């Protein structure tokens, strides 16, 4: 089955700096890669996703890049703000003909220091 | 937030007792999922459903069963709870089709003593 490794497990940055979180996956057939943000005590919420036919996707201060050859994808947050502090999870899945079975990374605790 | 509720939100139970968690959606989405979240493990898929009475196992299904008798409800049952099943349980839904986004419910914190 799929295996997703996520690094780093914790990340502290100064407000205004950029943050990068990296994930690698094992199943070359995976074709959908979402990123979720989870604030303390809250539910995970999708912030951005990318499919295997696209190399990069941006949404304001957030971008995701995908390297299919190397089987890794990364989340980039620019101009970080204190409200970006949360746990971020990457995930990967392949089309199975029915439901998408997401395999999640173990999470990155991002702290943005004022 | 998508129309997803989970009940109960918190539960404390004893080892060996049966427990049922409920996920209810008002979005008429076809797919429903149960995950557990533990420190250091992210979210792991327990079971999922692709329609009424259609379910399948996920990565960590041992000790769990599910049922879906209506589109809007997906039940997760621990037949005989163990301390290793202490966790936060999240339900998720997705529409499939042109979008694969999974929307999560608020979660249920389960403690097995």
pLDDT tens sequence across B43-59: 999 999 999 999 999 99
Size of interface A-B (CB pairs under 8 A): 61
CA pair distance B55, A55, nearest whole angstrom: 34
CB B9 within 8 A of CB A42: no
Residue A56, pLDDT above cutoff 90: yes
**Average pLDDT across chain A, whole number:** 94
CA pair distance B49, A93, nearest whole angstrom: 16
- Residue from B38, B51, B95, B100 to probe the interface with A (highest A Cβ count within 10 Å): B100
pLDDT value of position A1: 83
Using CB atoms, which residue from B1, B42, B49 is nearest to A106? B42
SS3 A51: strand
pLDDT value of position A98: 64
What is the pLDDT confidence band of residue A95, given thresholds at 50, 70 and 90?
confident
Digits of tens for pLDDT over chain B (113 positions)? 669 999 999 999 999 999 999 999 999 999 999 999 998 888 999 999 999 999 999 999 999 999 999 999 999 999 999 999 999 999 999 987 666 789 999 999 999 99
pLDDT value of position B41: 83
Contact A99 B105 (CB under 8 A): no
Please write down the HEC assignment for all residues of chain B: CCCEEEECCEEEECCCCCEEEEEEECCCCCEEEEEEEECCCEEEEEEEEEECCEEEECCCCCCEEEEEEECCEEEEEECCCCHHHCEEEEEEEECCCCCCCCEECCCEEEEEC
Residue A72, pLDDT above cutoff 80: yes
CA pair distance A100, A32, nearest whole angstrom: 9
């Amino acid at each position: 089955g799929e295996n997703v490794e996520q690094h780093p497990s914790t990340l502290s940055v100064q407000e205004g700096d950029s943050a990068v979180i990296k994930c690698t996956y094992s199943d070359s057939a995976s074709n959908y890669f979402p990123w979720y943000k989870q604030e303390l005590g809250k539910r995970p919420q999708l912030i951005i996703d990318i499919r295997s036919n696209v190399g990069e996707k941006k949404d304001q201060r957030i971008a995701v890049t995908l390297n299919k050859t190397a089987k890794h994808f990364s989340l980039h947050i620019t101009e970080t703000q204190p409200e970006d502090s949360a746990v971020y999870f990457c995930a990967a899945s392949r089309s199975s003909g029915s439901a998408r079975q997401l395999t999640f990374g173990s999470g990155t605790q991002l702290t943005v220091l004022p | 937030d998508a129309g997803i509720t989970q009940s109960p939100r918190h539960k404390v139970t004893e080892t060996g007792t049966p427990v049922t968690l409920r996920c209810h959606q008002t979005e008429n989405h076809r797919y429903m999922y149960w995950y557990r979240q533990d420190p250091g493990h992210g979210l792991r898929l327990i079971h999922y459903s692709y329609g009424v009475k259609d379910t399948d196992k996920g990565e960590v299904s041992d000790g769990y069963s599910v049922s879906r008798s209506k589109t809007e409800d997906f039940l997760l049952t621990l037949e005989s709870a163990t301390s290793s099943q202490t966790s936060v349980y999240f339900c998720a839904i997705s529409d499939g089709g042109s979008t694969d986004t999974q929307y999560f419910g608020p979660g249920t914190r389960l403690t097995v003593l």
